[in-house]
Structure 1
Amino acid sequence: MVECGAKHLIYVSRSAGKSKDDENFLHELQVHGCRTQTFAEDVADSSLIKKVVQNAAKPIAGVIQMSMILKVQGTWNLHNAIPGKDLDFFVLFSSLSGILGQIGQVNYAAANTFLKAFVQYRYSLGLPASVLDISAMADIGYVSNRPSVLAQLRCAGMQMLKEPDVLDALRLAILRSLPTPSAAYETTSTMATGFHSVSNPAHLATAVATDTSILDDEETSGELLAIQIGKQLLTFMLSTESEEELDLGRAPSDMGVDFLVSIEIRNSWRQSFRSEITVLGILNAHSLKDLGKMAAKNLKEKFERRNEAMK
């Protein structure tokens, strides 16, 4: 968030600012010109949360609720303590267990399901909200520090996320926080991150059909689509190159894409993005990132025209 321009951050947790790692991290933020406030408080105590809000150095513009245990009460307290109409976003971090369930974790799954419903509740009040249903993370956080838990999840077939995956999802969640009028009950501001199938760009096309503002940030949306296009290229070419080695600045032709592979990409493009692209358009693209931006632009224009025609 600091890289995106945030200058004031508040951290609230029972151990905020107490560890050496916390001190080093806060110093790093200060070096980058960000002022921080830490409150070692319990988010379940409503009176303490109100004091935190009162003692904030600047008006609070957004909330990110990432509690592992105090999901329900903590979310209610944040909702009640912070004037909602002054917020740009109210992002709740949930888990895939709220969608899939998990053996022996009924209470945890129920708490995560509550967060999804809470987004609808805030929407009914005209307040911003969005929820991220994420999988386990391999490089940072609770699971990454517990090898036995990480091994169990991998054996169960769960896809491990990395920090960039969640940061990309968080950007979209912030962009999609504002409530939009709808004739049907739906949650367009819900993102599930951790399914293998989520990498299918058709899911983004489905979401854009109801909310074109998802693509307002052309740089982020274009990069996300470029990654998915690159993954498809690697699959079609039976490449041994890993997703981590994917260079979005490379041109498809430099990756060995020929006429036949371009036809496969064109057919996949039609199915995923519901728009047209020529074989030459793929072969002559300067980079994967350019293809991603082209896909984002086509998607947005297509559904904006459709929505305008329906008015």
Structure 2
Amino acid sequence: DISYFSFDLGEVSRQTPELISSMFKELSKGFEDRSLKPMEHKVFSIRESASAFRYMAQAKHIGKIVISTQDIPLIRADAAYLITGGMGALGLKVAEWMVDEGARNLVLMGRKSPSDETARIIEQLSDSGAQITVANGDVSSESDMKAIFEKIQPSLKGIIHAAGVLDDAMIPDQTPERFEQVMMPKVAGAWNLHQLTEDKDLDFFVMFSSAASIIGNSGQSNYAAANAFLDALAHFRHNKGLPATSINWGHWADIGMAASQRNRGSRLEGQGIRGIKTENGLAILKKILYEKPVQICVLDIDWQTYLSSIPVQTAFFSQLVRTEEIRQPEIIDKLRQTAIEQRSGILLEVIREFAGKVMGYEASLQVNVREPLMDQGFDSLMAVELRNRLSQIIGKTLPVSLLFDYPTLEKIRDFILIEVLDMNEDRQIKVEEK
């Protein structure tokens, strides 16, 4: 039988104060000899109040949930943290920042041994008092990850998954091998990290995703798909009551994969997507670690310029810029107001200027108007970008095969002027045989 009695402890203490005193003495002995221990509890800082209430609403906790008015250190000296892709430029910057924030036990993971410059940075971090462990392995390999996790000491409290590779190509040029190369570190790697830490009490599980999975990017169908998995995994973990954040980063200005590739940064700048400065990115990362959103996009972008650089507007962007704010093509009016015999030269210079910007040339005169662009270093991604830019400035959608059908700037000029804009009514443009 089980009996239930209610009583007023306050009333008991007033009537028999000696009983309460003896009980406290008995409890004190239990705390002193450690036979009694504090009940289970999980502490959230005051700035994490929203996360604390969400955690409580899931009803999966044991013990008490405590909100502390004292700022709980974001990075703890008595914990270990794992950074995949930790020996890349971005991973190293995150490692330096974490050490500055108080981390004293970092595991930097990568497939290759540290370069001389990387080794120098690691040595500087060690000299500052941090224990830096270099772990060679493939994050997509479950056996490699199990071996690394077995060696992590002290308790692992946080993960930054920054591993990734690029292998850009337009969809007709994509292959299963290219998809696999890009997907493995993102998809298989993140899933390994999830499964191996599912039973661990982590403070954070952060995945470096990309804005490509939000707004797309020419030639990056495989990369966008891989990062979309990270976004979905963050929501999956969150629904299971596990910490997870997917950050859809734009490109970093001075470090990272975009910065290491020729002309990529300048080409994105031309679309209104500015590079994230390192100090700004790390400050945002700190804010994200405190606020713990499930998914967040960090992008330094001029939406008007960006929307002006893509040929087709979608409903996805409809609330960002009003239709009337998008710059309308001015070249059409300029051509119509220009003498017929001068139109050809004006349009050619406009096209050559855009071709030069796509190729990263400081002076558009470096682009030969009579030589096939593919012979001058153009690739399929550049072809798509030039086609998109030209489509925007003339206000008409040009064919995807533009550069293959019209390989030189002069032939592109003639196609646009005659076939697209229909500006040859008053005269027959004679195309010289070159």
Give the TM bin, normalised by the shorter chain: 0.5 to 0.7
Structure 1 residues not aligned, in runs of 5+: 178-187, 199-311
Task: Work out the CA distance in 1 between the residues paired with 2:302 and 2:296.
Answer: 13
Equivalent pair of 2:231/2:246 in contact (CA under 8 Å): yes
Q: Secondary structure at the match of 1:74?
A: helix
Q: Which residue of 1 aligns with 2:60?
A: none
1:160 equivalent in structure 2: 275
In 2, the alpha carbon distance for the partners of 1:13 and 1:175 equals: 27
Aligned to 1:106: 221
TM-score (norm 2): 0.41
Write the deviation string for residues 223-250 of structure 1: whole angstroms up to 9, x where unpaired. xxxxxxxxxxxxxxxxxxxxxxxxxxxx
1:96-134 CA-to-partner distances (Å, cap 9, x unmatched) read 111001122112111111111111110111110111111
Distance of 1:19 and 1:195 partners within structure 2: 31
> Which stretches of structure 1, 4 residues or longer, exceed 4 Å deviation after superposition?
none
Cα distance in structure 2, aligned partners of 1:176 and 1:72:
25
Structure-2 residue corresponding to 1:196: 301
Aligned to 2:103: 6
Alignment CA distance shift 1:144-1:197 (3 Å) = closer
TM-score (norm 1): 0.57
Contact 1:89–1:128 at 8 Å: present in 2 too?
Answer: yes
* Displacement of 1:197: 6.7
Determine whether 1:31 maps to 2:146: no
Pick the aligned partner of 2:211 from 96, 103, 109: 96
Show the counterpart of 2:244.
129
Separation in 2 of the partners of 1:105 and 1:6? Answer: 35
CA distance in 2 between partners of 1:137 and 1:126 (Å): 31
Q: In angstroms, what is the RMSD of aligned CA positions?
A: 1.7
Equivalent in the alignment of 2:202: 87
Q: For the residues of structure 1 that align with 2:105 and 2:147, how far apart are their CA atoms?
A: 17
State whether structure 2 residue 150 is matched by structure 1 residue 45. Answer: no
Deviations 1:201-258 (A, max 9, x none): xxxxxxxxxxxxxxxxxxxxxxxxxxxxxxxxxxxxxxxxxxxxxxxxxxxxxxxxxx
Q: Based on CA coordinates, which of the two structures has the bigger radius of gyration?
A: 2
How many residues align? The count is 187
Aligned to 1:55: 151
- Relative to structure 1, is the Cα distance of residues 42 and 84 closer, same or farther in structure 2, using a 3 angstrom cutoff? same
Match of 1:145 in 2: 260
- Cα deviation for residue 85 of structure 1 reads 3.9
CA distance in 2, matches of 1:23, 1:99: 35
SS in 2 for 1:61: strand
In 1, Cα distance between equivalents of 2:284 and 2:242:
20
1:196 positional shift = 3.1
Contact 2:246 2:296 in 1 (8 A): yes
CA distance in 1, matches of 2:273, 2:149: 38
| CA offset digits 1:255-276 (Å, max 9, x no partner) | xxxxxxxxxxxxxxxxxxxxxx
Aligned residues of 2:252 and 2:275 also touching (Cα < 8 A): yes
Deviation string, structure 1 residues 131-152 (Cα, Å, up to 9, x no partner) = 1111111112222233422222
- The offset of 1:83, in angstroms, is 4.1
Q: Quick one: distance in 1 between partners of 2:131 and 2:200?
A: 24
Q: Distance in 2 between matches of 1:164 and 1:189?
A: 23
Identity of counterpart residues, as a percentage?
A: 32
> Contact conserved, 1:176 with 1:189, CA < 8 A, in 2?
no
Report the AA paired with residue 216 of structure 2.
G
The separation in 2 between residues aligned to 1:44 and 1:77, in whole angstroms, is 7
Q: Which residue of 1 aligns with 2:345?
A: none
Match of 2:310 in 1: none
Deviation of 1:84 (Å): 4.5
CA contact (8 A) 1:138 1:150 kept: yes
Distance 1:86 1:36 in 2: 22
* Letter in structure 2 aligned against 1:135: G
SS at 2:102 equivalent: coil
Greater relative contact order (CA < 8 Å, ≥ 6 in sequence):
1
Matching residue of 1:293: none
Query: Unaligned stretches of 5+ in structure 2?
Result: 1-97, 166-184, 304-434
